[in-house]
Structure 1
Amino acid sequence: MADINVTSTSEDGFATTSRVGGFELTVDATEEEGPEPNGTLVADYASCYIPAFRVGAQQRDYDDLGRIEIDAEGDLDGDEDLEAIRFDIRVEADIAGDEDELVERGEDICHVHSALREELHADISVEGSAF
């Protein structure tokens, strides 16, 4: 039995609606009915990385990072395939001196990071005491 079950349906055109558990997500290559697939992948990566970053920080006794915000960017090649991803992370807490270790811990924990080919792993910069 599978751990994840998704049903994706496209009636016509380029929009696909996926049912994931009790949620529905529409992805549209033309961006008329929802975000396009590459944008959705970058958003999914960032959405997975934030809780992974928090867990990694908790393992280093940062129990309250406060607000975390990621500005994520993706570069496309000539075939419209993702070739690079960058995260600029702002963290409310003062994490001065521990940024690199926390980034690495987040990468080790993030499931999307683990699922992507290595050349698509995000290039990550972090700014603490940002809010």
Structure 2
Amino acid sequence: MSDIETSTVSEEGFTSTSQVGEFELTIDALGEDGPDPNSVLVADYASCFLPAFRVGGRQTGNDDLGRVQIDAEATLDDDDDLTSISFDIHVEADVDDDTLADIVERAEGICHVHSALREGLHADVTAHGDAF
């Protein structure tokens, strides 16, 4: 028995619609009718990393990080394959650099997408406290 089941359909062209539970996600390889697959992967990675970052914060005694924002960037090679991803994390709370580094390290161990990606594609993460 599987833990995750999705269904993805393309009637024509390069746009597909994925059913994930009760949610529907439109992805377009050309980026015209929805985000392209690489963009979705980067956004998914950031969406997984952010709550993992909050858990890492709690584990270090920083229960209230306030607003947390991840600005993600990625580069592609000539074949449109992802070659690098970076996260610039902005944290509302005034957290020192050593604590932020500890939280990032913990988040890397918690984030399931981070664990699923090949090591060479793990995000290069920079975190900033007192950012808002």
TM-score range, shorter chain: over 0.9
Contact 2:92 2:131 in 1 (8 A): yes
The alpha carbon displacement at 1:100 in A equals: 1.0
For 1:10, give the aligned amino acid: S
Distance between the aligned counterparts of 1:64 and 1:58, measured in 2?
8
For each residue in 1:73-129, what CA deviation from the matched residue of structure 2 results, as whole angstroms up to 9, or x when unmatched? 000011110000000000001110311111100000000000000000000000001
Letter in 1 for 2:118: R
Query: Secondary structure of the residue that 2:34 maps to in structure 1?
Result: coil
Percent identical residues: 61
Q: Which aligned pairs between 1:1-131 and structure 2 lie closer than 5 A?
A: 1-96=1-96, 97-131=98-132
Q: Which amino acid aligns with 1:122?
A: A
Query: Moved runs in structure 1, 4+ residues, more than 3 A?
Result: none
Give the distance between the partners of 1:84 and 1:128, measured in 2 at CA: 24
Find the residue that maps to 1:98 and give its secondary structure: helix
Residue type of the partner of 1:2?
S
TM-score (norm 1): 0.98
CA distance in 2, matches of 1:120, 1:95: 27
Q: d(CA) in 2 for partners of 1:13 and 1:92?
A: 43
TM-score by length of 2: 0.97
Number of positions where the alignment pairs a residue of Structure 1 with one of Structure 2: 131
Whether the aligned pair in 1 keeps the contact of 2:60 and 2:99 (CA below 8 Å) is no
Q: Alpha carbon RMSD of aligned pairs, Å?
A: 0.6
For structure 1, the 5+ residue unaligned runs are none
How far apart are the structure 2 equivalents of 1:31 and 1:123?
Answer: 25
Matching residue's letter, 1:29: A
| Alignment deviations for residues 13-36 of structure 1 (CA, whole Å, 9 cap, x no partner) | 000100001100000011111000
